[in-house]
Structure 1
Amino acid sequence: MEITQAKATLDSKAKFCLDLLPGKIIDIQFTNPLTVRFKLTLIGYEAGKYLILKYPPQAKNSQYSDVLKEGNGAIVRYIVEGERGECVAFSTTILAIAVRPEKLIYLSYPKQIESRQLREVNRLQTHIPAKISINKDQSFDSENLLQGIIIDISTTGCRFTVHVNSGFLALKKRQVFVHLLSPIDNEAVVISAHVRNNQMQGNRLNVGIEFAGSEQQKMHNLLAAYAIDIGQ
C-alpha cells in the first residue's frame, strides 16, 4: 500500500496507541539497498519516541546487515480487525539495534499515519441473535450450533461475537453457515459464509464472517425484514 493519503488526525494517533499492543505482529518493509519484508513482533513503544521490535530470527549472523542498520528507512503496516477493519501504515527509520540481553530493533515513532478501509461496504451496528454451524442441514434448535450475537452487519459480511471458555479453540478459516430467525415469520434463514478472522477480547471471541456472493439477495431481504437500512 502506497502512503499517499492525507496526514492523520490527533484522533488517529490516539487510536494508533490503542491498536499497537505488545505481542502484535506487524509487517515491515525495507527498500534500501534491496526490498526485504519481515513479519516481526512488537515488544513495546514509548509514545512520541520509538517502537521496539524483535530482531528477525531469519537474519542470522551478518545476513541482511546492509538492510538492518541504523538510519535505514522502512514502511510499517498492520491490520486493525474488528469494527474498524483498517490497514494502517507509516514510514519510519531504524534508530538503533540492541544486541543484549536480546537482539531488538528500535524504530522512530511515526510523525504521520495513513489508514485504508478494508471493507468495500460499511457495516451497521446491530444486536441480532444468531448461530453458526459447520453443516448446512442442522436445525436452528440443535445444541451443536455455536450461539452468539451479530454486532455489525452488511449484505457482504458481519461480525459475530460469542462468550467462550478458556479452552475454546478459535474457529478456523473455513466455510460455515450462519443461522438467523426471520422477524417476519420466525423461520430460520441459513446463510452460506466463510470465516475470515478471529479476535479474542477478554472472554469473548469476535469472528469476522464474509457471506457468499450468491447470498446477497437473501441478505437484502433479511436486513429489510429487520428494518436495517443498508443504504444499497
Structure 2
Amino acid sequence: MEITQDRPAQASKAKFCLDLLPGKLIDIQFTNPLSVRFKLSLVGYEAGKYLILKYPVQAKKSQYADVLKEGNGAIVRYIVEGERGECVAFSTTILAISFRPEKLLYLAYPKNIESRQLREVSRLQTHIPAKISINKSHSYGSENLLQGLIIDISPTGCRFTVHVNSGFLALKKRPVFVHVLSPIDNSAVVISAHVRNNQMQGDRLSVGIEFAAHEQQKMQNLLAAYTIDIA
C-alpha cells in the first residue's frame, strides 16, 4: 500500500494522539527476517516515548522469536473512520517485550506519521435532517424511521449521526434506505444505501453510509437542490 504525506508533521502528530485510544485495533507488519502481520490491541502510550501493544496471542514463547525481539523494525497501520476516513501509517521498532504480569510489546514512538484518504470522492460538511429505515415502504413520517443529521455528503456516500439514546444501536453493516426531504417541494427522496461502519463520538452514534451505484443521479439532483456543489 502506498502512503503519501497529506499534512504537516506537527498537525499529523496532534491528530495521532487524539486517534489512538486504548483498545484501538492496530495492524503491525514485520519484514525481517520474515514477513509477518498481526492485529494487536493498543494498551496505551506515552507521547514522545513509546506505545504499548498486547502481545500476539497466537505467538508462543518459542514462536516468532526471531521476529518479535528488541530492535526489530515494523510498520504500523490503523484506520481513522468518521469524517476523516484515513489510513495512518508509521515506522517503528521494538523497544522491549515484557512477559509479566502480562505479555506486552513496547514500540518506539513514531517520529513521522503519514496518512492517505480512503475515499475517492471528497465530502462536503453539511447539516441536513434525514432519516434511516430498513424498509423502503416506510413513509417519512413513520415512527419506525431513525431520525438524525447528515453531517457530510457526496454523490457516493454520507455520514449520518444520531443521539445514542434514540435507540437503533444495532445498526450494523446492512442495506438501509436514507430519507431526505427535497428543499424544492418538501417531498421525501428515498435513497437505497448500505451501512459500512459505526463509530461512537461522545453521545452520538456516527454511521458511515454508501449510496447504491444506481442512485448517484438521484443524489446529484438532490445535492443540486440543496445547492451543494462537489467537484
For normalisation by structure 2, the TM-score amounts to 0.96
Kept in 2: contact 1:79–1:86 (CA 8 A): yes
Shift of 1:60: 2.0
Give the structure 2 partner of residue 92 of structure 1.
92
Structure 1 portions without partners, runs of 5+: none
Worse-matched range after superposition: 216-225 or 167-176: 167-176
Kept in 2: contact 1:70–1:95 (CA 8 A): yes
Worse-matched range after superposition: 220-229 or 57-66: 57-66
Q: State the one-letter code of the partner of 2:26.
A: I
CA RMSD across the alignment? 1.5
Q: Which runs of 4+ in 1 moved over 6 A?
A: none
Percent identity reads 85
Shift of 1:140: 0.7
For normalisation by structure 1, the TM-score amounts to 0.95
Give the structure 1 partner of residue 43 of structure 2.
43
Kept in 1: contact 2:182–2:225 (CA 8 A): yes
Give the structure 2 partner of residue 161 of structure 1.
161
Structure 2 portions without partners, runs of 5+: none
Distance of 2:225 and 2:53 partners within structure 1: 49
Distance of 1:139 and 1:74 partners within structure 2: 52
Give the structure 2 partner of residue 101 of structure 1.
101
Distance of 1:193 and 1:83 partners within structure 2: 18
Q: 1:139 to 1:3 in 2, by over 3 A?
A: closer
Give the structure 2 partner of residue 209 of structure 1.
209
Kept in 1: contact 2:6–2:116 (CA 8 A): no
- Count of residues paired in the alignment: 231
Q: 1:208 to 1:4 in 2, by over 3 A?
A: closer
Worse-matched range after superposition: 113-122 or 159-168: 159-168
Distance of 2:7 and 2:186 partners within structure 1: 49
Give the structure 2 partner of residue 21 of structure 1.
21
Q: State the one-letter code of the partner of 2:89.
A: A
Distance of 2:146 and 2:5 partners within structure 1: 41
Task: List aligned pairs for 1:90-169, cutoff 5 A.
Answer: 90-165=90-165, 169=169
Kept in 1: contact 2:45–2:51 (CA 8 A): yes
Shift of 1:8: 4.6
Q: 1:25 to 1:113 in 2, by over 3 A?
A: same
Give the structure 2 partner of residue 227 of structure 1.
227
